Amino acid sequence: MTNNETLLTKQGLEDLKAETENLRVVKRKEVSEKIKAALAFGDISENSEYDEAKNEQADIERRILKIENMLKNAKIIENNNNNDLVNLGCTVKVKDIEFDEIMEYQIVGSAEADPFKERISNVSPLGQALMGKKEGDIVNVETPSGAIVEYEVLGIK
C-alpha cells in the first residue's frame, strides 16, 4: 500500500460517493440559503449568523476535497473468499477471554473505521493483532492505558 492509498470496501466506496453527492447538492444549497438569510440582517462585521454559515460552508468544502482525494486514491478491498485467515474486508468474531464477551468486527481501511458500527481499522491495535490470524488463535492487544487484553478468534467470514 502506498502512503496516499485509501483502502475501501465496495460499500465504503458507495457511501463516500453518496456523501459527496449529498454535500454538493443538498448541503451546499442549505448553507447558501443560510448565508443569504444572514446577509439580509445587514452589517456582516458583527453578524454571528453570517460567520457561522461561512464556517459551515468552509467545513463542507474541506470535507468534499477530503473525500475527492480519498476517492481518487481509493483501492477497493477485494474479498478473496479465503476465510481461513483474517484479512481486510472480512468479518471476525472474537472473544475477550478475561470478560468472556463475544464481539464481531469487520476489518476495514482507516477511512471506513467506525467502532460504533463494529468496523475497525486494519491499523488499529486490535485490527493489527488480528490480521493474518486464523480461527482458534489467541492475540494479545495493548490498550492505551498499557493493559493487555487477550482475544480468541472464534470465526472468520
The answer to whether position 84 is within a domain reads no
Please give the model's pTM, rounded to 2 decimal places: 0.73
The answer to whether position 1 is within a domain reads no
Range name among 4-13, 31-40, 79-88, 118-127 with the lowest pLDDT average: 79-88
Residue type, 94: V
11 lies in the same domain as 70: yes
Residues with Cβ < 8 Å from 92, sequence gap 6 or more? 86, 104, 105, 106, 107, 130, 153, 155, 156, 157
62 lies in the same domain as 24: yes
List the grid coordinates of 137: 488463535
96 lies in the same domain as 151: yes
Strand pairing class (74-76; 6-8): parallel
71 lies in the same domain as 96: no
| Domain encompassing residue 121 | 91-156
**CATH number for position 100:** 3.10.50.30
Residues with Cβ < 8 Å from 39, sequence gap 6 or more? 47, 50
70 lies in the same domain as 40: yes
* Burial of 153 (C-beta count, 10 Å sphere; 0-12/13-18/19+): buried
For 70-100, the pLDDT digits (tens) are: 999 998 887 666 678 998 889 999 999 999 9
pLDDT of residue 9: 86
List the grid coordinates of 136: 482458534
- Residues 94, 95, 97, 100, Cα dihedral to 10°: 170
Region 110-123: what's the mean pLDDT? Answer: 91
* Residue where a domain terminates, one of 76, 103, 131: 76
The answer to whether position 57 is within a domain reads yes
**CATH number for position 42:** 1.10.287.180
Region 89-113: what's the mean pLDDT? Answer: 93
What DSSP state is assigned to residue 14?
Answer: H
Domain count, the chain: 2
The answer to whether position 82 is within a domain reads no
